[in-house]
Structure 1
């Protein structure tokens, strides 16, 4: 059966289906196929026009229909070239899969103006889109992908900017942490100093033994001590019991 509903066949609601647009208009959105005819007759160059005449793409006022009414083959060029008006021509044939039919306007035997093109592909009839429609669709598709590419690039750039801002925020956080660490160090130093002030001072050194008088350094020793430097400003106290040794005794001969 035909894929496109024909007039006179009611649909499931009981209402007649809408009429197809008149031939010669844009009918690229519909397709015609009559499986019953295809199962009955072979699809070749001699019968393909009869099959095409069943479709809504066929204009019954064309010159080919007049030839059919006169029992002449509708594609006979010897008769069509003598007529003027709308006609159909079998433009290209690849049996049994592809048949290209061109609708044209004939003004004289030599002057023909192409109008529309139809093709029969594996038994289904389609109207070929016009060249301007093909260009418009291709350009629209190209613009779509270009716009999509720009949108993808813009989103990636925004992501890179967000990552850089995150890095800056991380750097600020690290600097803040370092500042907090320095403050903690100063606080610890302050606590240690306060504890040191609270500690008792060191006990004084033990007293010298009775009768011991510390020797005074001479001028030479004072000069040598000044030249050696001030590594020890206060020398450690001298233990008289260890350093002085036993008391001197008188030697007898």
Structure 2
């Protein structure tokens, strides 16, 4: 049986055009069930399967070796070339294969760019570490700020009720309960408000590696002054929790 064309989907539709360089593809996955039913998924065939996906760059050095009938993962040949290449870094046959995209500038000088993994026949692009840290830190700061706001609002409500009671309004349920010190409440409220003002925003993520550009969002296009005056927004999507393998679009 002939090998399916690159980018073919399960329904047999025409192969999709490869995305432009720098496109974020962490939200999609590729799976060709016809190929998986025909060929074994092992270290000898995994790269042939990877070339069918939209993650594969056909200008890489591995493709040049394939055109010369040389094994595309032959490190003795790849080390003599410069440019973009793919390497099989981790193998747990037949369930997990990790493929690293890197730029080679010499026999011993390579710069990692992106990482892909094949999990039980489905190919995914691993999220950037800077994206994971940025999402986790942003989510933590969001909930910490929300906790401070909730605590401050409850303390203000307690102080308001206590002030009304001191003004002459009797409370039958107040007997036998511990008296609230209004000065202590205000002092704690001031401490919480001071900590909330000192809470720094999420630090900017480190620069992206060469060949990768973050997806443009609507918030990034807004005026910076508008973002400063707006209320705190929910945390950004977590590349691991919110975009796991089960939630990615299949191609």
Same fold (TM over 0.5): yes
The 2-side partners of 1:105 and 1:113 are apart by 5
Contact 2:8/2:52, CA 8 A, preserved across alignment:
no
Q: Which runs of structure 2 are paired with 1:141-160 in the superposition (5 Å)?
A: 141-160=139-158
Per the TM alignment, residue 173 of structure 1 is displaced from its structure 2 partner at its CA by 5.4
The structure with more radius of gyration: 1
The 2-side partners of 1:162 and 1:122 are apart by 60
User: CA 1:23 to 1:117, structure 2 compared with 1: closer, same or farther past 3 Å?
Assistant: farther
Q: Which moved more, 1:68-77 or 1:20-29?
A: 20-29
User: CA 1:74 to 1:56, structure 2 compared with 1: closer, same or farther past 3 Å?
Assistant: same
User: CA 1:70 to 1:53, structure 2 compared with 1: closer, same or farther past 3 Å?
Assistant: same
Matched with 1:69 is: 67
User: CA 1:20 to 1:165, structure 2 compared with 1: closer, same or farther past 3 Å?
Assistant: farther
Contact 1:23/1:56, CA 8 A, preserved across alignment:
no
Per the TM alignment, residue 52 of structure 1 is displaced from its structure 2 partner at its CA by 0.7
TM-score computed with the length of structure 1 as normaliser: 0.58
User: CA 1:87 to 1:50, structure 2 compared with 1: closer, same or farther past 3 Å?
Assistant: same
Per the TM alignment, residue 162 of structure 1 is displaced from its structure 2 partner at its CA by 3.5
Matched with 2:109 is: 111
The 1-side partners of 2:152 and 2:52 are apart by 54
Is 1:164 the counterpart of 2:153? The answer is no
* RCO comparison, higher one (Cα < 8 Å, 6+): 2
Deviations 1:39-75 (A, max 9, x none): 2222111111111101101001111111111221111
Contact 2:8/2:32, CA 8 A, preserved across alignment:
no
Matched with 2:81 is: 83
Matched with 1:27 is: 25
Contact 2:99/2:115, CA 8 A, preserved across alignment:
yes
Structure 1 segments unaligned to the other structure (5+ residues): 11-15, 175-253
Per the TM alignment, residue 23 of structure 1 is displaced from its structure 2 partner at its CA by 4.9
Per the TM alignment, residue 20 of structure 1 is displaced from its structure 2 partner at its CA by 4.8
Secondary structure, counterpart of 1:126 in structure 2: strand
Per the TM alignment, residue 157 of structure 1 is displaced from its structure 2 partner at its CA by 1.1
Superposed structure 1 runs of 4+ greater than 2 Å apart: 19-26, 165-169, 171-174
The 2-side partners of 1:89 and 1:44 are apart by 15
The 1-side partners of 2:108 and 2:169 are apart by 85
Contact 1:24/1:116, CA 8 A, preserved across alignment:
no
TM-score computed with the length of structure 2 as normaliser: 0.59
The 2-side partners of 1:94 and 1:162 are apart by 63
Matched with 1:50 is: 48
Secondary structure, counterpart of 1:31 in structure 2: strand
Contact 2:50/2:123, CA 8 A, preserved across alignment:
yes
In the comparison of the two structures, how many residue pairs are matched? 165
- Greater per-residue helix proportion: 1
Structure 2 segments unaligned to the other structure (5+ residues): 172-251
Matched with 1:233 is: none
